[in-house]
Structure 1
């Protein structure tokens, strides 16, 4: 090969193994945190830029993909949306009940410290339901700016149905727009190794490995519950739907979707990865073009586990008496609430105060639990996103192959 035809470093990087690149980023970030904490804190700029880029493009991606897929849908084409929605709801509910069982079997407690988290979280069920309705009719521009995924889905569906009566030229423009936004997201994801390098370096430099070790038991409960869902209950649901051995499909989804989602920590940003996987699996395009963006918002089994386990840990810490039935009611609220949690990193944590309010836990204490969630988020949020995102493909495939 001549020098003129030799691939550039940029070309080699953009076409390299992203998982290997991310692992290198994690190792380098960890080394920097121990060698020079001061430089590690400055490296957080890379992580901040990466997270902001994800948060900026993810709402637009969901809006455009849903609108384009509905507009281009032909009534004569068969889809499997209803079975996918059933699996999404059943999977999320089972995940939250599983979290209750694990929390009772392996009770955890927290070190409730002063928190600097100042976001306003919902304080009651009625407030959440009211906010849900208001979010649905939010100004579409404001919904995009604020990352209001319920509003984004509502307006995208409404505009999609309206544009479905438009000309083929209009529909082609929408599809081209969706493809363009998807390509932008792919570029952002390729920058993940740099962003994760900064996030890991800053997190370890500021909190230390000890911060995670102090909560090792709680983290183990969270991860164990998620693994149980990924390797036991989800395969069982797929088997019921398809009557086939579910594990080849389960492992494919975990490998090709879950690993990427683990490092990007964003279900919404992982949409292009899932869409490409669905295409390779030869699934019904009219189904996955809707179910994958929708799943990034409403399929939140991992989020339901996080909300339930952390809330019950707070209940144990405060010595509040609770029976199993009451805890299951909590899991129901967690499952419903999780369906509205954001598709970006840390989206489920601000719903914890809602669950805490069911046990009359003061909001300031609940926000300390949220702060604990951010400490655990280095691993917990990554595992949660991997479970959520890989399940989007898994349940879509199960519905299409039944």
Structure 2
């Protein structure tokens, strides 16, 4: 009995990354051996993603309210430099996508449109949607995973409780600690959940439908790789003045890998929170910056919007000059920041960018359909990049603040 409990303890405390890798290999093996058997374990992935999505809204709300309520006077949260890094990273992503798209122009085989999908008619509509999410009913915000609304109410409640009694603040701190414990338990189930997700994905698609879009995928993934492994490390180096790769690679490994398979920034918020805690980052900072990053730090989305828009322009023989490309970068960056406020995320913002080149909505929606075909890879890589970057920039800002305090 003791040997069994000792084995379970070692399993629970073992390397989560290695366990996830084992789950990936097991999922691919099962799908290769029996597609039907792989489909039967799909519920494991759905349960895991569902559990993360269920706990993420209440985690963010309580953690933000508790952190602000218990915040000591004159405490620096470093939010301004983090927001600057988020916006700079997103704009850099759009510029990289423009450069790579022009170096390797792609022709699309346009397919049928997307039924029942209504893209926004302009930047104004995207911003308008986000503004109304700020004043959403708090219960509805928690139920629908509206993180803009959750952040707003969490900050408001935290400020209101800042002058409450110590016992009231302690209640919120204890509840926050309890929910964090629940999050750790859910995250330990990641290998099982990812096993189900990988098995189901390989069994249902086999990635055969992606072969015809190899060049488009190569441009997308190439731009994302350059952002993740060159541009983001460069931004971090300027901020912290040391080798950025240990931080970048750790975040890609421990945050990006989970996000790649869950394909949900919201589901990865608890994972990022736990990683920030493990890295001993400032709780008052990451409790706000991580859910905010899941909303506005959208470098992967900016790349998707830009690459697919320029592919559509090239397919139709539209010449794109430098000024128009720069304008597209700005539009893509702004649109990407509002992607979470639009059903369908980054893909349904493509028609908005296409309108810069006079591309009709019907053609643009066919481009969106291409995006859905390659979505198995595109959305996974986009989410991994977006989510891991949230932790990278938060950690960089925290370290820069600590270095400044030591020198000061």
Name which of structure 1's ranges 349-358 and 148-157 shifts more when overlaid on structure 2: 349-358
Structure 1 residue 297 corresponds to structure 2 residue 301 = no
Who is 1:264 aligned against?
Answer: 262
Stretches of structure 1 that go unaligned for 5 or more consecutive residues are: none
User: Any gaps of 5 or more consecutive residues in structure 2?
Assistant: 401-408
Matched, 1:162 2:160: yes
CA contact (8 A) 1:95 1:301 kept: yes
* Structure-2 residue corresponding to 1:29: 27
Correspondence for 1:139 among 133, 137, 140: 137
The match for 1:317 is 315
The superposition leaves residues 40-73 of structure 1 with CA deviations (integer Å, 9 ceiling, x where unpaired) of: 3444333333333333333333222222222222
C-alpha displacement of 1:5: 5.0
Residue number among 248, 251, 256 corresponding to 1:250 in the alignment: 248
Aligned 8 A contact 1:346 1:374 in 2: no
Inter-partner Cα distance in structure 1 for 2:180 and 2:115: 33
Aligned length: 400
Match of 2:197 in 1: 199
Q: CA RMSD in A?
A: 2.9
1:310, CA displacement in angstroms?
Answer: 2.0
Other-structure match for 2:71? 73
Distance 1:173 1:119 in 2: 44
Q: Given the alignment of the two structures, is residue 381 of structure 1 paired with residue 360 of structure 2, yes or no?
A: no
Question: What is the CA–CA distance in structure 1 between the aligned matches of 2:319 and 2:384, rounded to whole Å?
Answer: 33
| Distance 1:240-1:134 versus aligned 2 partners, 3 A rule | same
Within the alignment, does 1:19 sit opposite 2:17 as a pair?
yes
Give how far 1:173 is off.
Answer: 2.0
Q: Does the residue aligned with 2:266 lie in a helix, a strand or coil?
A: coil
Residue in structure 2 matching 1:239, options 237, 261, 266: 237
3-state DSSP of counterpart to 1:302: helix
Deviation at 1:250? 2.5
Q: Please state whether the residue corresponding to 2:267 is helix, strand or coil.
A: coil
Distance 2:58 2:347 in 1: 23
How far, CA to CA, are the matches of 2:134 and 2:234 in structure 1?
A: 34
Tell me which protein shows more helix as a share of its residues: 2
Give the corresponding residue for 1:89: 87
Q: How far apart, in 1, do the equivalents of 2:106 and 2:58 lie?
A: 39
1:12 CA drift (Å) = 5.1
Partner of 1:183: 181
In structure 2, C-alpha distance between the alignment counterparts of 1:309 and 1:283, rounded to whole Å: 35
Is it true that 1:339 corresponds to 2:337 in the alignment?
yes
TM normalised by structure 2 equals 0.86
Contact 2:79-2:289 at 8 Å conserved across structures: yes
Distance 1:87 1:176 in 2: 32
Secondary structure at 1:214 match in 2: helix
How does the TM-score come out when normalised to structure 1? 0.87
Q: CA deviation at 1:17?
A: 3.1
